[in-house]
Structure 1
Amino acid sequence: MPLRDTMTGYAIIRPVAALSLAAALGLGLMMSPAVAQPGIAPAANAQVSPQSMVSHRAAYKLNLDRVRQGGEVIGAEGAMLFEVLDACDGWTTRQRLQLTVADRAGSLVETASDYSTWESKDGRRLRFTLTQSAQGAVTQRISGEAVLKGAGQEGAVRYESPAQTEVKLAPGTLLPMAHTIRTLEMARAGERLLVTPLFDGTSEDGAQDSTTILSGWTAPKPAVRFPLLANQGSARMRIAFFGQNAASAAGAAAPEYEVGLRYYANGVADEMNMDFGDFAVNAVMQSLDPLPSGC
């Protein structure tokens, strides 16, 4: 776990990564450092590493949570399939999403997206492709590669589609899996806020500013529905994404998209809430299966 532009754009959720949602959440704060809030010190073995992330396939059912009063949307439902695979030198992800939105006039808009990435384990390179469609017709294709010079350093995105262009990435920009690992590390350490530019390849305008608010770390529960989540601690987080230069004259900015979710220590997210402004949907995990690693 994108879905954040117009009705025909409601078609991608960051893996957050993943996706990060952090992979996501204040424009005027773009270059601010992460802020640590008081919390419980982590255990000696609390560090989350790339090796902690598990290859898996997860299926989710999407249901309407709420609508904006006076808005046009009255219903939404769909499904999402998300896969993460350890590719030895990096992580590959694929996210396929289908969403049907109903409006007050009785119209149904059927949207779909297919989003794939490869991200190096050092968090410095990301190859990405995204295809979005509405009513069966392709509405957007984005592809290219992002390269960061090093940890905390600047970088650039070279787009192949929709046009061959290059966009700079600000120092401190994170890629999706790196963002997921960072937020899990912070949650285990008792930190509460991460503000950073985030690039995931779902926009042709480069990185978005993001703010991630983290809850405290929750110890593993004795009984869980899915075996892959057994013996895994977790943390809830709320991620907001902002367009570049979106702050108002008063210095405030409304996020383009927000997502709340629970991430487990192995990088699996089970409960999500995606807020697109006019409406929000819940994503409830229906199945979770391990995938074999090629390493």
Structure 2
Amino acid sequence: MIIKTAQLKRSVDLMTDKIAYRLSILFSLFGLFAVVAPALSHAGGVALASHRAVYDLTLKEFHRDGGIEDVRGRIVMEVENSCEGVLMNQRMLVELLNISGDSMTSDYHLSTWEDRAGQLMRFTMSNVLNGRTIENYDGVANLGSAGGSVTFSEDGADRLDLPEGVIFPTGHTREILKSAKAGKNLLSAKIYDGNGVNGLFDTLTVIGKSGKSDSTLLKDRDMGNLPYWPVQMSYFDLSAQSNEPEFEVGLKMFENGVASDLVLKYEDFSLNGSLVQLDILDTAGCGN
């Protein structure tokens, strides 16, 4: 089949915008591992680590008709626990090469702060594609007994209402770890993750049997005997009411909040994410 150059460029541009959006959503998933340590410790769990993690992204597989030839990138995430809440600063830089040989770069930033009670989240996010800002949001999300709301600082951005039962990424992590330790293998939850007007998802998490890593990097961080659970998370668009997920993420979730061995699955391609650097940071002690 022969496709005209202009048609191909438009198709790839549209596809790249969609991919960049999906890539941006991915980064918010790392908020799942930034849980306030004192809260889990009081519940009988292991105190989770403040840390800085770096992941290298490489192409795992792709569909030839998707317009993508290669993908590579890097994720840097820093988590800082405090007595009041948890601060996360995240960056994801991805370069995509299309079948015509042109490269496209997505540069995504997300900064969030969640309070210890899991009722308040402040967030700032931006996504830049080839030097063009395609998303930029700054706002506050609040949760209550009958749902919640998200307000944005940008002019013209409508308030987003959150349905009853929605949780933030920290609350989601608590539920995943609670389910894993109880031997449960399924968890369904609605999440708002801070990604602007598109941050509300329904999720299904499948949890496997615990294991221990033989990674030299993790052993050097005293994590050789720390248990992890294989986790597969599927994200669904609540408005579409589809049985097919928007994207899926597989990983190993360690008891201290560190993630490794990522597999990021999208419609047109999937990525491997290898943990290449890990720094465990000091966490302040908190009185009761």
TM-score (norm. length: structure 1):
0.81
Q: Does 1:200 pair with 2:193?
A: yes
Letter paired with 1:187: A
Aligned-residue CA RMSD (Å): 2.4
Q: What residue identity is the alignment partner of 2:21? A: G
Number of the residue aligned with 1:34: none
CA 1:221–1:239: 2 relative to 1, 3 Å = closer
Tell me if 1:225 matches 2:225: no
1:75 is matched with 70
- Tell me, yes or no, if the aligned pair for 2:27 and 2:92 is still in contact at 8 Å: no
**Aligned runs of 1:89-168 on 2, under 5 Å?**
89-150=84-145, 153-161=146-154, 163-168=156-161
Deviations 1:240-284 (CA, angstroms, capped at 9, x unpaired): 11112313xxxx522112111111001110111111211111110
- Which structure is larger by alpha-carbon Rg, 1 or 2? 2
Cα distance change, pair 206–282 in 1 and its aligned pair in 2 (3 A): closer
The answer for unaligned runs of 5 or more in structure 1 is: 22-44
Secondary structure of the 2:171 match is helix
Distance 2:42 2:63 in 1: 40
Paired with 2:121 and 2:150, the residues of 1 have a C-alpha distance of: 9
Judge conservation of contact 1:157–1:206 (CA < 8 Å) in 2.
no
Match of 2:245 among 249, 252, 255: 255
Q: Secondary structure at the match of 1:70?
A: helix
Inter-partner Cα distance in structure 1 for 2:267 and 2:175:
27
Alpha-carbon distance in structure 2 between the residues aligned to 1:84 and 1:280: 26
Q: Work out which of the residue numbers 173, 183, 194 in structure 2 matches 1:190.
A: 183
Amino acid aligned to 2:165 = G
Match of 1:6 among 15, 18, 26: 18
Q: 1:104 to 1:262 in 2, by over 3 A?
A: same
Partner of 1:38: none
Helix, strand or coil at the partner of 1:161: coil
Structure 1, 221-230 or 136-145: larger mean CA deviation: 221-230
SS in 1 for 2:54: strand
* Separation in structure 2 between the aligned mates of residue 90 and residue 46 of structure 1, nearest angstrom: 15
Give 3-state SS (helix, strand or coil) of 1:253's partner. Answer: coil
Distance, in Å, in 2 between the alignment partners of 1:213 and 1:5 is: 29
The runs of 5 or more residues in structure 2 that have no matched partner are 1-15, 35-40
Residue number in structure 2 paired with 1:246: 240
Structure-2 separation of matches of 1:283 and 1:239: 15
Aligned length: 261
Structure-2 residue corresponding to 1:180: 173
Q: Tell me the distance in 2 between the aligned counterparts of 1:117 and 1:69.
A: 36
- Residue 65 of structure 2 aligns to a residue whose secondary structure is coil
Structure 1 counterpart of 2:31? 18
Counterparts in 2 of 1:171 and 1:280: CA distance versus 1, 3 Å: same
The whole-number CA distance in structure 2 between the counterparts of 1:254 and 1:221 is 32
Structure 1 residue 59 displacement after superposition? 0.6
Aligned match of 1:27: none
- Displacement of 1:185: 1.3
Point out the more displaced range, 57-66 or 182-191: 182-191
Q: Quick one: distance in 1 between partners of 2:56 and 2:213?
A: 23
Q: Which piece of structure 1 moves more, 223-232 or 118-127?
A: 223-232
Cα distance per residue 1:50-105 (max 9 Å; x no partner): x7221000011000011024221110001110111012210111110100111111
SS in structure 2 opposite 1:82? strand
Q: Which amino acid aligns with 2:260?
A: D
Higher relative contact order, chain-length normalized (CA < 8 Å, sep 6+) = 1
Q: Percent identity over the alignment?
A: 26
3-state DSSP of counterpart to 1:184: helix
Equivalence map 1:32-47=2 (5 Å): none
- Structure with the largest fraction of helix: 2
Cα distance in 2, alignment partners of residues 102 and 197 from structure 1: 34
Q: Can you list the C-alpha shifts for 1:18-61, whole angstroms capped at 9, x where unaligned?
A: 3369xxxxxxxxxxxxxxxxxxxxxxx99665x72210000110
- Contact kept, 8 Å, 2:85 with 2:114, in 1: the verdict is yes
